[in-house]
Amino acid sequence: MSPTVHSSFYKFVALDDPAALAAGLRALAGPLLGSVLVAHEGLNGVLAGPEEALDAFERGLTRDPRFAGMAFKRSACRTPPFARLAIHVKPEVVTVGVPYAPAVGTQRTPQEWRDLMARDDVVVLDNRNSFEYRLGHFAGAVDPGVTNFRDFPRYVAEHAAEWKAAGKEVAMYCTGGIRCEKTAAWMQDLGLTVHELQGGILNYFHAMPDAERDWQGECFVFDNRIALDTHLQQTDTTAEQVYAGEPDGEWRLARAKRLHEAA
């Protein structure tokens, strides 16, 4: 049996009929397991299965010109990441409460990101939940202290004037890039100079063999593997360790256990 491989992907693109796309994706997914969210603003997915099944899915999806050139980030699986396939239509593909708009000139390659982090006039901002930050983050990054991504815009709005007054630019990162891309244009509208890590942490780990120079700890992933190291390998960290002491830790741990027991 072929080993299980994980693939994450997203794209912001205007979709007139998300329900029709979701139906087509269910047919295209075949034996794959995972989750795909579809909305008028685009799609956001994580799937896992044999590499040949992922190849077929990705070929089929990118035949649609709306998804040509979409990036797929793959990583190994020691633990089956998912127990079922769920493809849903939602109001947003990442819930934050600010409308998506394309940002201009904000994407930075991993090497450019390394250079940005060394600058004194840059605030490196972690665009994730606090429990993700505590498990691992870029050295010197700021934890916005949010328990849910919907709280992130409030943190930025409260600090934007301070950063601008200090002549600071903002370099933000998240796991795969989608949370940053959703908020970048909104932050530009606040008058901030914004940089995004292209492809997120996972792309940085893939592109930079010495990522441990810049990264402290592990990277949380929202599946049964729990966490990856800088070489995209699953670690031994457990959900109990991740969620200990979190305000909503009991709920998150119960959810993680349900997913694990069903896998």
Residues of the chain falling short of pLDDT 70: 1, 245-263
| Residue whose C-alpha is closest to residue 69's, from 10, 131, 118, 143 | 10
Delimit the domains of the chain by residue range: 4-89, 107-222+228-243
Catalytic residue selected from 77, 174, 180, 219? 174
Q: What CATH number should be reported for the domain whose range is 4-89?
A: 3.30.70.100
- What's the mean per-residue pLDDT of the chain? 93
Number of H helices, E strands in the chain: 9, 13
| Residue whose C-alpha is closest to residue 7's, from 61, 66, 68, 88 | 61
Return the pLDDT at 244: 75
| Residue whose C-alpha is closest to residue 125's, from 56, 171, 86, 81 | 171
**In this structure, how many other beta carbons lie within 10 angstroms of the beta carbon of residue 91?**
11
Distance from the Cα of residue 202 to its chain's centroid: 8
Q: Are 135 and 217 in contact (CB under 8 A)?
A: yes
Q: Are 4 and 80 in contact (CB under 8 A)?
A: yes
What is the distance between the alpha carbons of residues 169 and 125, in angstroms, rounded to a whole number? 10
Summarised one tens digit per residue, pLDDT across range 81-113 is: 999 999 999 999 998 888 899 999 999 999 999
Active site residue 174: yes
Query: Whole-model pTM?
Result: 0.91
What is the distance between the alpha carbons of residues 126 and 106, in angstroms, rounded to a whole number? 16
Beta-bridge mates of residue 195:
171
Q: Which residues contact 253 (CB under 8 A, 6 or more apart)?
A: 239, 240, 243
Return the pLDDT at 263: 43
Question: DSSP letter at 110?
Answer: H
Summarised one tens digit per residue, pLDDT across range 148-175 is: 888 999 999 999 999 999 999 999 999 9
CATH 3.40.50.620, domain 107-222+228-243, yes or no: no
Question: DSSP letter at 63?
Answer: T
